[in-house]
Amino acid sequence: MSDRTALIRRRPVAGLLLLGAATLALLAWQHRVALRAFPGIISAYTAKEYCSCRYVMNNPDDYCRGYVKQYLPSTLSDDPVHKVVIATGMGRSSSASWLGPRHGCRLDP
pLDDT at residue 90 is higher than 70: yes
pTM for the full model? 0.74
Render the burial of 66-84: b for 16+ CB within 10 Å, e for the rest.
Answer: eebeeeeebebebeeeebb
Distance CA 69, CA 100 (A): 25
**φ and ψ of 92, to 5 deg:** -115, 150
pLDDT for the residue 4? 64
pLDDT at residue 75 is higher than 80: yes
Inter-residue contact 92 to 42 (CB < 8 Å): yes
**Cα diameter, the chain:** 75
pLDDT for the residue 3? 66
pLDDT at residue 40 is higher than 90: no
